[in-house]
Amino acid sequence: KNQVEQSPQSLIILEGKNCTLQCNYTVSPFSNLRWYKQDTGRGPVSLTIMTFSENTKSNGRYTATLDADTKQSSLHITASQLSDSASYICVVSAKNTDKLIFGTGTRLQVFP
Amino acid sequence: GAGVSQSPSNKVTEKGKDVELRCDPISGHTALYWYRQRLGQGLEFLIYFQGNSAPDKSGLPSDRFSAERTGESVSTLTIQRTQQEDSAVYLCASSPYGTGGASQPQHFGDGTRLSIL
């Protein structure tokens, strides 16, 4: 069964600190993996998209990594800001399908 | 505007009533998706449109749910005889082409928060 699991479920950090969110998936055949940020009451916004051949991609203070062999991805946030408080969702796409498989997200709270 | 627009932003209705949710995708985007997000849960795929046709309806939870798209633009998700379990945020997304393995982001609207009393 195609699944995407994320950890931790929630995370609290202080402003200025770094953090890393994890994503494990069992989707096959794998096509690409996306990280989205979802602010409360808003729709998800794309941060990164990585294909099989990419093992790292950055978007400002966000850096995603992908290990297609172990089927794991991480999202590293550097020098966190209060505006980083949101849910971060890992999404995996299988080849030859238009259906995306969503993780349940990691709820990040950044405190001053 | 330039983004995906959904209306209404909030809808409260009584159990048993029908509701219609609207999505205006980004102009020129041929692919359109509907998702459901229950409180504290991940997004659940409902239906996908390529142009005006729906090649994948596999996520619709029951025959009370239906969707249509006209003019390769606006889409409407209809829920008939609503039940309390239908309470959720319904999100719409669009992309230039179908994701079909391609590395395109889906652009999401802010959703319609549906509450069934």
pLDDT tens figures, A72-84: 999 999 999 999 9
pLDDT band of residue B85 (cuts 50, 70, 90) is very high
pLDDT of residue A12: 98
A13 alpha carbon, distance to own chain's centre: 17
Mean pLDDT taken over chain A:
94
CB A43 within 8 A of CB B109: yes
Give the position of tokens 């991609």: A57
Contact A99 B111 (CB under 8 A): no
Residues of A in contact with B43 (CB under 8 A): 44, 89, 102
pLDDT of residue B1: 53
Identify the residue among B21, B23, B37, B43 best suited for mutation to test binding to A, counting A beta carbons within 10 A and taking the highest: B43
Q: What is the pLDDT of residues B61-74, one digit of tens each?
A: 999 999 999 988 99
Contacting residues for A37 by C-beta, under 8 A, at least 6 apart: A44, A45, A47, A86, A87, A88, A89
pLDDT of residue B101: 47
Q: Is B86 left (phi over 0), alpha (psi -120 to 50) or beta?
A: alpha
Q: What three-state secondary structure class fits B41?
A: coil
Q: What is the pLDDT of residues B38-67, one digit of tens each?
A: 988 889 999 989 889 887 888 899 999 999
Contacting residues for B73 by C-beta, under 8 A, at least 6 apart: B24, B25, B27
pLDDT of residue A59: 95
pLDDT band of residue B89 (cuts 50, 70, 90) is very high
